[in-house]
Amino acid sequence: MRHLILSAAIPALLMGATPVLAHTATAPAQEKPVCYDCSGPDGAALTMQRPPPHFPRDLTPAGVAAADDHLALEQVDGAEAMAFVAEENRKSLAALTGDPRYETFRAEAQAILTATDRIPSPSFLGDGIGNFWQDATNPKGVWRRTTLASYRTATPQWETLLDIDALSKAEGKDWVFKGADCLAPDDTRCLINLSDGGKDAVVVREFDLTTKRFVDGGFNLPEGKHRIEWLDRDTLLVATDFGAGTMTESGYPFIVKTLKRGQTLTQATEVYRGDQGDGGYGVSPAVYRDKDGKVTAVIITRPLDTFRSETWQLAHDGKTTQLKLPARVSVYGVLNDALIFSPEENWNLPGGRAFKGGDLLSMPLAVLHAGVDGETIVSNAAPLIFSPNARQAVGDVRVLSDRVVVSYTDNVRGRAGVFRSNGERGWSRQDITVPDNLAVGLGDSSKSRGEVFVSTQGFLVPPTLSLADADAATLTALKSAPAKFDASRDVTEQFEATSTDGTKIPYFVTRPRDMKLDGSSPTVMLGYGGFQVSLNPAYKPEMGKLWLERGGVFVQANIRGGGEFGPDWHQAALDGNRQKAFDDFAAVARDLEQRGITSPRRLGIYGRSNGGVLTSVSITQHPELFNAAVIESPLVDMLRYHELPAGASWIGEYGDARIPEEAEWIAKYSAYQQLRPGQPYPRVYLTTNTRDDRVHPGHARKFAARLGDMGYDHLYYEDTAGGHSNDADPVANARRWARHYVYLSQQLMD
């Protein structure tokens, strides 16, 4: 099995849900003053004030809908919604593209995003190297391959496998390439994922690399949010929409079937069934193979909610066995009949063995079938591969044929090592020497070669791609990206802010070295704070060119909810503790002011997807701290997010607004309901995409409409293609970044 997966740099939102509950949750009557902003230390009430004018008196789903005067904007292609989009786009484009800076920003961003001297992102493909490439000539991109020897040269000789621009033109479709899954070991048969307009939903077609054509009569699946794996050359494992009643509330599959060549989906044979009430992104099969392509294990993950799951093994005879694993777990692969995994919660075993959430472990599958006990653990190879300390976290893991390669962070700085089992004597470790103070990421790996692609980069350091030899634990540099902006005048520093409960929150500042610390510097602060996603140092060339080169400051806040310090850092801000992430972000803003780095007049914030929750809440709770906010592809109406596809898949992160006590804590921060008249909100910029089938465009539309109703100046722009990932077209993406930085310049530099 070989995967080539295209995704955004910052992963976005990740659940099925329970049936609508009959209970009701009623907010206090609007004439009674209550605490609607309880974000002080230890939850102490800061203010006693009346509820916002659109705050539902009744927090049941029906009550929330009744208080919503913009439900029509949830109709993706509805007439009223599209008329609203057209008028908002007209006004926003006049303000943004009419700015004299726009064309310069657009041209600079396009030159970066379509540059031919970028590092071609590689994947192992048979005996060669595969790559998907987009530029000004091929904005939709070409899937291509070369040899490793040629790839090492300055001018690799590429062979085109599939031209997406030509395919789109021939078929009259707005195709977006969403990756390929090729069957090991020869990788000659591949499943190509094509999205219409950039949606998460894809059609799947079988492709032959020897003929460079789609296979006549081959596997061909209609559009859907599929979970597919090769079992053998003539058999797929498929989780998809098999008809009425086969999808969860979130719109994801819960049934796995084997699909034989020549069969239709209706003829496929069921091998596993979850439940319609399951959550997450749907049931998912994974096929693990040895270096020769032989199947070593088939693992099926059944998500119960966003983060809890059951793990099952599918045997050759078609029987499934549940593995005795914790509910919160990340599975990385199989090595010598042992499962490589991390419990994402503390795990206490019979016999006194205990492991921390975030530890990296290896346990025989046979042991996990029967259940772990003290004697079994002692009699088998030592299970603990790597145990991060309180300021460390496992990042990427690649399981090879006889060892495991791991990248991890140490106080949000990248490290890497190779681990090899020595039986009962435990696991030996060889550190891979990597540059200090940079992010370290693992790319594709090859079991047959014992090699892993490794990337390193920093805020001011362009990416370098290397090849790691796992046997020697050494790196060989393959390519270094040229600088795309002048970083000679800048410096990156790491500081800590103290949040309301005393927790230390790290953050990075990239700024001019000789900057005056008088609060006058225009500053953009990025945050995410969810789904255990870490914000590591990253080279952002468009930001450097359009912002840093013009004297701006960039801040990246590592707030709780992320994964920078492992599962505990994430889980500290789950559900009813969500306010901690918002408090952390505000604490960083105040710390920036105290250090003289910037001031509220010059401070703007940016967040997308889950980061849109963060930014929308930040301006409603603390408008005094910010003068700009780019709120992109956001969740904003948190009392109805579960009603909008695919919102219910995230209930494990935010809570379920259909449960009374959970609706109460969600309502306290949900920005759509918390908007008030007469507040010093900045002129915000909201932007989303009509074809986003992950975070519904209704969130951003409704927030913009309510801002307008209250008379607040704002900008709203909705692109009509590209989906959630914004990876459909680099030329369109250049326009997107130009709009962002024109707005930020207007608010913070003018």
Helix or strand or coil: residue 94?
helix
Q: CA 250, 253, 258 angle in degrees (round to 5)?
A: 175
Rounded distance, CA 502 to CA 406, Å?
A: 32
pLDDT at 237 over 50: yes
Would you place residue 9 in the very low, low, confident or very high pLDDT band (cuts 50, 70, 90)?
A: very low
> What DSSP string describes 292-340?
TS-EEEEEEEEESSSS-EEEEEE-TTS-EEE----SSEEEEEEETTEEE
By the 10 Å C-beta count (0-12 exposed, 13-18 middle, 19+ buried), 218 is classed as middle
Predicted local distance difference test score (pLDDT) of residue 8: 33
Predicted local distance difference test score (pLDDT) of residue 349: 86
**Is residue 197 a contact partner of residue 728, using CB atoms and an 8 Å limit?**
yes
Residue 574 is encoded by which pair of tokens? 């789950």
Predicted local distance difference test score (pLDDT) of residue 377: 57
Over residues 223-245, the mean pLDDT reads: 97
Of 206, 207, 250, which is closest to residue 225 (Cα–Cα)? 250
Backbone angles phi, psi at 548, to 5 degrees: -65, -45
Q: CA 746, 749, 750 angle in degrees (round to 5)?
A: 60
> What DSSP string describes 701-738?
HHHHHHHHHTT--EEEEEESSSTTTT-S-HHHHHHHHH
Would you place residue 7 in the very low, low, confident or very high pLDDT band (cuts 50, 70, 90)?
A: very low
Please state, as a whole number, how many other Cβ atoms lie within 10 Å of the Cβ of residue 223. 14
pLDDT at 518 over 90: yes
- What does R_g of the chain's alpha carbons equal in angstroms? 25
Predicted local distance difference test score (pLDDT) of residue 704: 98
Of 190, 165, 211, which is closest to residue 3 (Cα–Cα)? 190
Predicted local distance difference test score (pLDDT) of residue 385: 97
**Is residue 584 a contact partner of residue 506, using CB atoms and an 8 Å limit?**
no
Predicted local distance difference test score (pLDDT) of residue 350: 77
Residue 495 is encoded by which pair of tokens? 């500081």
CA 722 to chain centre: 16
Predicted local distance difference test score (pLDDT) of residue 32: 34
Q: Where do runs of H (alpha helix) occur along 371-524? A: 374-379
Rounded distance, CA 648 to CA 615, Å?
A: 21
Of 499, 502, 547, which is closest to residue 526 (Cα–Cα)? 547
Position with higher pLDDT, 554 vs 424: 554
Tens-digit pLDDT profile for residues 474-492 = 999 999 999 999 999 999 9
Write the DSSP symbol of residue 693. S
Q: Just list the catalytic residues.
A: 609, 724
Residue 61 is encoded by which pair of tokens? 């789903």
Tell how strand 714-719 and strand 684-689 pair up.
parallel
Tens-digit pLDDT profile for residues 59-98 = 999 999 999 999 999 999 999 999 999 999 999 999 999 9
Please state, as a whole number, how many other Cβ atoms lie within 10 Å of the Cβ of residue 720. 13
Residue 175 is encoded by which pair of tokens? 């195709």
Distances (CA, A) of 60 to 21, 57, 552, 556, 558: 9, 9, 45, 37, 34
What is the chain's length? Answer: 750
Residue 526 is encoded by which pair of tokens? 């990025």
Please state, as a whole number, how many other Cβ atoms lie within 10 Å of the Cβ of residue 716. 24
By the 10 Å C-beta count (0-12 exposed, 13-18 middle, 19+ buried), 117 is classed as exposed
Rounded distance, CA 514 to CA 491, Å?
A: 9
Tens-digit pLDDT profile for residues 571-586 = 999 999 999 999 999 9
Q: Could you tell me if residue 108 is left (phi over 0), alpha (psi between -120 and 50 degrees) or otherwise beta?
A: alpha
**Is residue 691 a contact partner of residue 197, using CB atoms and an 8 Å limit?**
yes
**Is residue 497 a contact partner of residue 560, using CB atoms and an 8 Å limit?**
no
> What DSSP string describes 610-660?
HHHHHHHHHHHH-GGG-SEEEEES----TTSGGGSTTGGGGHHHH--TTSH
Q: Residue 581: in which H helix or E strand, if any?
A: helix 579-594
* Non-local CB neighbours of 577 within 8 Å, separated by 6+ positions: none
Rounded distance, CA 631 to CA 181, Å?
A: 34
Would you place residue 33 in the very low, low, confident or very high pLDDT band (cuts 50, 70, 90)?
A: very low
Q: What is the mean pLDDT of the chain?
A: 92
Tens-digit pLDDT profile for residues 520-540 = 999 999 999 999 999 999 999
First to last CA, the chain: 53
Helix or strand or coil: residue 441?
strand
**Is residue 368 a contact partner of residue 324, using CB atoms and an 8 Å limit?**
yes
Pick the range with the lowest mean pLDDT from 15-24, 627-636, 640-649: 15-24
Helix or strand or coil: residue 546?
helix
> What DSSP string describes 239-266?
ES--STT-B-TTS-B-EEEEEETT--GG
Tens-digit pLDDT profile for residues 447-464 = 999 999 999 999 999 999
Q: Could you tell me if residue 293 is left (phi over 0), alpha (psi between -120 and 50 degrees) or otherwise beta?
A: left
Task: Please give the share of the chain, as a percent, with pLDDT higher than 70.
Answer: 92
Tens-digit pLDDT profile for residues 344-370 = 999 998 777 899 999 999 999 999 998
* Non-local CB neighbours of 301 within 8 Å, separated by 6+ positions: 283, 284, 286, 309, 310, 311, 312, 331
Q: Could you tell me if residue 115 is left (phi over 0), alpha (psi between -120 and 50 degrees) or otherwise beta?
A: beta
**Is residue 59 a contact partner of residue 657, using CB atoms and an 8 Å limit?**
yes
Q: What is the dihedral of CA 303, 309, 310, 312, to 10 degrees?
A: 60
